[in-house]
Structures are given as C-alpha cells and as structure tokens.
Structure 1
Amino acid sequence: MRLISTTSAVATLLFLVVILPSIQLTEAQIGVCNGRLGNNLPSEEDVVSLYKSRGITRMRIYDPNQRTLQAVRGSNIGLIVDVPKRDLRSLGSDAGAASRWVQNNVVPYASNIRYIAVGNEIMPNDAEAGSIVPAMQNVQNALRSANLAGRIKVSTAIKSDLVANFPPSKGVFTSSSYMNPIVNFLKNNNSPLLANIYPYFSFIGTPSMRLDYALFTSPNAQVNDNGLQYQNVFDALVDTVYAALAKAGAPNVPIVVSESGWPSAGGNAASFSNAGTYYKGLIGHVKQGTPLKKGQAIEAYLFAMFDENQKGGGIENNFGLFTPNKQPKYQLNFNN
C-alpha cells in the first residue's frame, strides 16, 4: 500500500482494521472451527462469548446459522461461512438462488465475513462435484452485485486426499479435471484455496512415521526435499498442496488452512497429551510459514471448538478444544 502522509496512513489503517476486518492481514491468524453436531453444546451466544474471552478472532461455521451470525455481528471475529452440501446444486444451477443466499446470509453480516467456502471436502466422484465451480461463480457474481466481491473471497475447502506424491515438491492434484477449474477460478478472483490439513491421519496411515514428526516436536528435519528441510508433517502437507497449485498454473494462490486438529481419544495415538502438544505446536508454528513459503505466515483454523457427540463416533467425537460445558481441555494461548 502506498502511503501519502502520516495522517492519511493512520486513518487508512484504522479503516482497514475496524471497518474492513475481512481483508487479509500479513500476520498469522489462528481461528477455531465451530461445529454444532452435538446435543449438549452451549448456545450460539455463549459460544461467541467464549471466543471473545479467549481472544479467538477467527471462526469457521459449516452453515449460515443465523443465531451465530447475529451473535458475531459487531465483534472483531472474522468468519469462514460454508455453503453446506445440501445447497450446492441449487446455488450452482440457479443464479437467483445464489443471489438470495448471499442477500440473506452474507450481506447483513458482511463486515465479519472473510471467506465463503462453497462445499467442504467434496470429492470428484461426489454427486455435487459438478456444482462446485458453477456455485462458486454464482456466489461470486452475487457478491459483485452487492459490492462485496473485493472484500469477501469465495473458495472451497479440500481434503489432502486430492493431492498425491511425495516428497512435497512432487505434489500434484489427483484429479486435474476436477481441480483445474477450481484453481483457475481462485487465480482469476484473487482467492485463496482452503485446505483441511491433518497430520494425525498421515501419521496413522504411515507406519514408518515418527510421532514427533507429526507433533511439531522432532528435534531435527526428517525429510530433505531438494534442499528444503521438513521438521514436521504439517509443513510437508501444506507445501505438497502448494506444489500442486504450481503445477496447475497457480503458484501464487495462497493457502488458508481451514481445518487442522488432533483427537484426544478414540484411536491410535489419540490422547490428551498428543492433542495438546499438537495444538500448542501448531499455534506456535504458523508465524514461520513453510520451507517453501518461509516467512509467509499462515492463517489456520483449529478443529474444533467442542467435542461433538453426534458425529460418527470414535475419534470424530474427540477433536474439541473445549468440553461442552466450556471448560478448556488444553492450556492454549490463541494469541501466541
């Protein structure tokens, strides 16, 4: 940003921070995903109060829950708001439906919304796969009509299964026919790719992997990739996605880590100790960037705020940072 005077610079900065919180800042930001698949969770208003009291300034929600949106409005909490799976086909096939969705769920809360995630972990063979790009484009057009396209970015959240090969520099999307149109949309609209990054699943799926490499506690690098040294799996997974983006013609599309977590129970290596170590390590690491993008701070969303007892069972119920009665499971400093 070009500065023309000290006074105008200060005024511009205050405008960006106070009025336009959806514009990306350069420092690392830690958010927490607010899943609601539980029958014993606090009210939406209490959840937002807990975010505020803990200094958590980013939240992801998986549908445009009106009570959550209303509770967040006027706060300094920036949001990722998902278009849920059930709405993808209608928004992809009907520009009017996308316009109504934006008018109802985005426009009244625009000062808090940073990203719209059009689908979460939709895979190429899913019935909704063909609706992703049309829905992204229709939502983008609706934002443009509402004069919000420059502030709120449209993307989709992918799972790391869509990226193959090792080491990270060999990363490539497993389905170019599915991902290339998505990547082109992101590049053309200056939007980031949302990526769900889970070293836990890499660890349990790789018998030879050391636990400390997955938990940010390895004392030294475990992978040398053409001179880039990888001391943790998180960096390797993120850089694999960056390599895939580059091969798809979009080396400058940034990545926002839209989910990352470790379960405290229910499976191999799932424990309070390991989960607490992982979350603390991730919070402390995001400022550094990755070996491929050294010094480029990462915006990352921890999964999830609460244990959710209506999920699939096993580890799925045990990713919470807090118990449903709002007690912290780990001692974390979200502003670290």
Structure 2
Amino acid sequence: MKNILLSSAAIVAFAGAAAAESHMGVTFSGTAELGYNTDDNPGFVGDDNEGFYSDLEITIGLAAELDNGLTAAASIDFEDLADGTGFGDAEYELSLTSETSGLYFGDTQFAAERMWVAAGDMEQDSFSEADGEEVLRGELTYGMVEAQMSYALTNNEGTRVTDDLDQLSLGVSADFGNFNVVAAYQEESDEAAGFYSGGVAPQGDNGDFNQSEIFGLSVGTAFAGADVRLAYVTNQTTDENSTGVSVTYPFGPVTGTVYYVDESNGDANYGVTLAYVNGPIAVELDYDNDQGVNKTGLEGSYDVGNGLTVYAGYLTQDSTDDRYYVAGTYDLGSGAELLVSYADDDSNVDEDEIGANEYQRGTTVQVTFEF
C-alpha cells in the first residue's frame, strides 16, 4: 500500500508540472463483471473462481501537451477492486514523449520483450516479461530504425534492486527495403536467484522473469505473397540456442503458417496452423510438436447476428485428458455483454484459461460492463 500511495503522489506531482505548461486532459474508464461459475474439478493450481464472483477495474489517465512539443502523461489502473480481496492492486505508468522519442516509468514492458519477433516456438527466446515490476524504459525512432532500452528498478513486490538498475534490456528494429531486421538483448540479472519469482503469487511472483543473458537476431521479408522469417537466439548463461524459420502464406479465405525450430538442447519444435475466415465463420486448426509432445487444437466461432456469437473448441495433447468448450456471447448494448460457457479440462493443462478466449473450467454465466 505504501508503494501505491507514493506512486499516486508521484503521478499527481508529474501531472501538476505538466498542467503548468498547458491544458490538462483527464479520462476515466473502467470495467465491471459479475458472474457465477460451477467448477467441475475445483482445487487445481490456477483456478479462477467458484461460485459467485465479481471484479471492478478503474483506469485514470492524465495528459498534457507542453510548450516544447513534448507530451506528459500518467495513468493509474486500479484492479481487483471488487473481488473480495480488499483494496486491490494498482499499476501506474508515467511518460514523457515526442514524435520520435519517449521515456516511460512504472508498469511498462522491457525493451527486448517489446521488440523481439520470433520464428515459431523457440525455447531459448525467453526474454524477461514484465509483470508488476517497476521499469524505466526509453525509446527512439530515427527514420526506419526504432531502438528501445530498459532497466528493472524493483521486483513486483516493490522491493528495490541492489544497484538501482538491473538487467539492461535492448531492442532494435530496422527496415531495409523489403527486409525487417530485429535484434534483442538482455544482460544477466545481478540479483540473487528467486528475487523476481520467489514471492507469493500473484503480487510477488513473476515466473516470466528470466535472469539469464540472452541475445537474439531475427530477419523477415515478404515475396510472392508469403511472409518469411528466420531467427536465431542464444542463452549465453546456459550456452543453449534456437534457430527457427517460419512461413505464412494466404490462399483464398485460408492463411497457412508453418515453422521449424532446431534446438541445441532437446527435440526440434515444429508446427502448422490453418486459419479460415469467411463472413460470419472463423475456424483455426493448429498442430504443434513441442519438445516431442504432440498438441492439436481445433477452435471456431460463428456470428449468428443480432449480437449473438457462438464458440466451440477441442484441444488435445499427449499424456493428458482432452479439453473442450462451448460458449456464447450476447451483446447487451452500451458496452455490456453476457457470456455463457462450459469448458472441461480434467488434467488442468490450461489452468482455468481454456482455449483462445481463456474460458473457466465448468459452467460460467457472466455479465461484463465497460464504462
């Protein structure tokens, strides 16, 4: 709570300085949901809800254009205000931007995370992903080149890093004619193992923070209607690497994507996806071989009209029970939507986030409002 109050005070001070130069713009937005879920197999790690549940999220945005052409902005996002856990969580971001550059502070992504473009399922491109850490990030665009740099200042419990700045992260994307080149790098973290992932979930545990030194290079181009990308990434800490190629090609209402990734440690990864979109119908068939594990998914939707859309999906992989779901959404108007779904995942593969739309296990009836 102390960190939230200090962050809020910083936002007010930042906004006040901006207001002295120009007119202040303030926006309020939010979402609310009320639902009921009957979990067929409760008690799994990652369960979302069982019985009645509710949630409220409010976002406050502030912005001002300064006389020197810069834009000062701040946002604070209050989450989980009505889920029964108390005051909830708050995330904030401060920014100072121009047409070609920007400085961001707070809950923002790391540079390599933002810029990296993979070629399929690459085991070693596990650049750290921000999830509640306090981050300082800068970005600059010059012609066809965009560069970003960031550091971590705290873990997601608000504990300061030892040397003020930790794990330099870099990302660069450049276009040369018909080619796009992306380079990403993060240095090895100076913090002790578990500093970013040893807390109590969800506020104090970021399993997507990787303390290793990682470098990646990715090149993409388009020709004859196909998008092709070749990528190489190496984990310097563990001395392991991934080399992948992916090709995407549309033919009629179908878009096909295939990829193959050679891994220095473990089996190769490969897969194919066929996505069909035609009028109210959308269907996707996906097959992946992930480190020797076969995974197949078939998901689709149909826009019935009058605000009603129905969804269905079937997913399976080796050594697990099959998952499936049926669902429907109805647009109630003015930002309100009704969801009714049933999903089954007896092996808890997706941890109550089943399918592309992340349905909860069991039967769910939920109303969502946007303001």
Structure-2-length-normalised TM-score: 0.28
Greater strand share, structure number: 2
Structure-1-length-normalised TM-score: 0.31
Larger Rg computed on CA atoms? 2
